[in-house]
Amino acid sequence: MFLIAGISSKIKPKGAAEYCACPACGTVSPLHVIHKYMTPHIFFIPTFPFHSEYIATCGNCASIMRVTPEAAKVFIRHPEAGLDPRDLTVMQNNVRNICKSCGEGLGHGQNFCGHCGAAV
């Protein structure tokens, strides 16, 4: 007898929280929520999900945030309730720092703008 087994990763979209404040960029924009999990297979039949997490992506800055499981389950049942920024943990911040005087991009750790010389 032989056994065919494996593990696959699954991603399922769960909707968009329309009017939520992004903890990374601070703008009110849609946060797109997905459910990411892994499933072992035995003879190509999925058995049970494990390593489950909910992830939100900001529609404005594309930053990636982890959503608490409790808040995600409430959001799935009642999408109109939205997400509270306190239930989000920033995993990857994609906000680009810019000079407030001229709008030029700033490097990490710069104290002065390289274009106009203004203090950051």
- What pLDDT does residue 33 have? 96
Q: Which of 26, 90, 32 is nearest to 59 (CA)?
A: 32
- What pLDDT does residue 20 have? 87
- What pLDDT does residue 14 have? 94
- For the chain, the domains span 5-92
Q: Give the integer Cα–Cα distance in Å for 18 and 20.
A: 6
Polymer length in residues for the chain? 120
3-27 pLDDT per residue, tens = 888 999 999 999 999 888 888 888 8
Q: Which of 10, 11, 20 is nearest to 79 (CA)?
A: 20
CB-based burial, 37-66: b 16+ in 10 Å, e otherwise? bebeeeeeeeeeeeeeebbbbbbbbebebe
C-beta neighbour count of 31 within 10 angstroms: 28
- What pLDDT does residue 37 have? 95
36-56 pLDDT per residue, tens = 999 999 988 889 999 999 999
Q: Give the integer Cα–Cα distance in Å for 61 and 101.
A: 21
Please calculate the CA angle 37-40-43 and round it to the nearest 5 degrees.
145
What percent of the chain stands above pLDDT 90?
A: 47
**Is pLDDT of 73 > 80?**
yes
